[in-house]
Amino acid sequence: MTVDVHAGIMDRGLKLFGMIEKLQGVPSDEELEGLLRLLPPDSRENIGALLAPEMREAGLVFLDMIRQWMYAARDARSLSPKKKVILVPFNFPPDLVHLFESAVPLTTEVLTTVAALALPGGAERYWEFMQSLGLPDHICSANSVEVASLLSGKDFLPDAIISAAPGACDANAKVHEFLSHYQGIPQFILEKPVDDTPEGKAFYSRYFRTLIRQLEEFTGESLNEDRLRGVVERGNRCTELYWELFEYRKMRPCPVPNLFTLFLSPVRFCMWGTEPGIRTLEAMVDTVRRLHEAGVYPAAEERCRVLWAYTSFYFNVSELHRWMGKKGWSFLADVLSLYMPQPIDTSTMDTMIDGLVTAAWEYPMNRQMGTSSMSRAWVADMVWAAREMGADCVVHCGHDACKQTWSVVSILGEELMNQAQVPLLVLHGDSWMKTTTPITVIQQEMEEFIGNVVLGKKRTRRKVRRRRPKSTPGPKSTP
Ligand code: SF4
């Protein structure tokens, strides 16, 4: 029997974000409490965490960015001329869709995160619907939750799909392909060659340019150099702000609120190269500057600096990011927020397209998993980040679909210890599904690990240091 999802993620998300639009200015604590009471309990805690007093202004700008992104897709077909809605995965630059006046991007994994974080019942009802169609339970929730919503016939369907995961993640590529066939939505494929040589990069550049031609044909619009330059220049401004924030992330204690790692990813995955994307990053930098100058940190002292090797947990951010902050554990970054953007040369059309090709090549997951050697690429990034940000430990949360990370996580653990003297905690859980491993279990495992291994190690640091092998240099490709 097929499970009924009742309504799609987009419709339900639009209602929720419509409430944000009604807010006039930054609400006081009392006003916010009144607003949160209107929300179901599941949404209340997480939305409340995003609007915590010390980061409320930036939280509102962030939520408004998500609202504008969803509204753009909602309104696309009622405009004259109509715009096309193009579904993209998280490992693809949305800037390429923003380049077209007649198209808007929607990102699969960000919509799944909206469901997990803000909608009553979370991602589970869509996940169960997916299983009821006969799909296995070892597919990736990050994308299949939103895809289930689209398969249900109760959600807003895109006009086309860009599948950018072939070469980086089969689970992601296949579920988008299934959606394409099931709902008859055209799919444009951008394959990443698993080949880091100049030949592999040349193939990718050719595929990327073919995709641009396909989008020109699909939208009936030729790429316009001025519009391209505008998007790239705004993307370059985002890049500047990203690195400004990165410098703050290196400070001790880290003045960046733990939840800002969560804000960084949707900026890159949905609104890079747009004014709302810039405003969100500016609001984050302003907040961090103010907190740093005032010496504000959520706990009496910073006790542990934690780096996440891949994704973290999104279904209960008040009990992860906020909880960590209160314990004095700084959440430095996860792989989704560690996207290391580079400025793009705006001299000519070709330099700008080349810059977008490089950006797409280096997107999260492409950069670590779509390479000649997953272990080498992942280790290089994590060792570099652990050293650069002064991490005391790294946490990897893996789920059943992510076979590629499971296949190399033991190498990651060994190399982090050898090269950066940082221990790795491996958790089994699902970032979007609270029923796989409840957040209380995650908390307990982190408490035991940080208390016994990390803080215990700090106490015996001198003794341990004598037994450590020499460290090796970090990656050359990272800034
Ligand atoms: S790499 Fe893992 S988390 Fe990312 S899309 Fe693939 S299966 Fe999902």
- The protein residue whose alpha carbon is closest to atom 8 in ligand 1 is 140
Q: Is 50 helix (H, G, I), strand (E, B) or coil?
A: helix
Residues in the chain: 479
> Is the beta carbon of 369 within 6 A of some atom in ligand 1?
yes
User: What residues does each domain of the chain span?
Assistant: 9-225
> Is the beta carbon of 139 within 6 A of some atom in ligand 1?
no
Give which of 201, 206, 396, 435 is closest to 315, Cα–Cα. Answer: 435
Q: What is the Å distance from ligand 1's center to 365 Cα?
A: 8
Q: What is the Å distance from ligand 1's center to 93 Cα?
A: 17
Sheet containing 424-428: give its strands across.
329-333, 304-308, 393-398, 424-428
- Cis amide bond preceding 253, omega within 30: yes
Q: What is the Å distance from ligand 1's center to 18 Cα?
A: 30
pTM for the complete prediction? 0.94
- DSSP3 helix / strand / coil % (the chain, rounded to 5): 55, 10, 35
Q: How many CB atoms lie within 10 A of CB 426?
A: 18
Residue entry with tokens 């240099």:
473
Q: Which of 365, 378, 427, 433 to mutate to test the pocket of ligand 1 (most atoms within 8 A of CB)?
A: 365
- The protein residue whose alpha carbon is closest to atom 3 in ligand 1 is 402
355-to-17, 229, 253, 341, 456 alpha-carbon distances in Å: 33, 11, 35, 10, 45
Q: Is 274 helix (H, G, I), strand (E, B) or coil?
A: coil
> Is the beta carbon of 401 within 6 A of some atom in ligand 1?
yes
Point out the ligand 1 atom lying closest to the alpha carbon of residue 169.
6
Q: Among the CATH numbers 3.40.50.11890, 2.60.40.10, 3.40.630.30, 3.60.70.12, which is that of 9-225? A: 3.40.50.11890
Q: Which of 172, 371, 397 to mutate to test the pocket of ligand 1 (most atoms within 8 A of CB)?
A: 172
Q: What is the Å distance from ligand 1's center to 309 Cα?
A: 13
Q: What is the Å distance from ligand 1's center to 366 Cα?
A: 10
Q: What is the Å distance from ligand 1's center to 63 Cα?
A: 25
437-to-137, 315, 430, 446 alpha-carbon distances in Å: 15, 11, 7, 13
> Is the beta carbon of 173 within 6 A of some atom in ligand 1?
no
> Is the beta carbon of 365 within 6 A of some atom in ligand 1?
yes
Q: What is the Å distance from ligand 1's center to 287 Cα?
A: 32
Spell out the per-residue pLDDT of the chain, length 479, in tens.
567 778 999 999 999 888 778 877 899 999 999 988 888 887 899 999 999 999 999 999 999 999 999 999 999 999 989 999 999 999 999 999 999 999 999 999 999 999 999 999 999 999 999 999 999 988 999 999 999 999 999 998 999 999 999 999 999 999 999 999 999 999 999 999 999 999 999 999 999 999 999 999 999 999 999 999 999 999 999 999 999 999 999 999 999 999 999 999 999 999 999 999 999 999 999 999 999 999 999 999 999 999 999 999 999 999 999 999 999 999 999 999 999 999 999 999 999 999 999 999 999 999 999 999 999 999 999 999 999 999 999 999 998 889 889 999 999 999 999 999 999 999 999 999 999 999 999 999 999 999 999 998 777 665 545 444 444 433 444 43
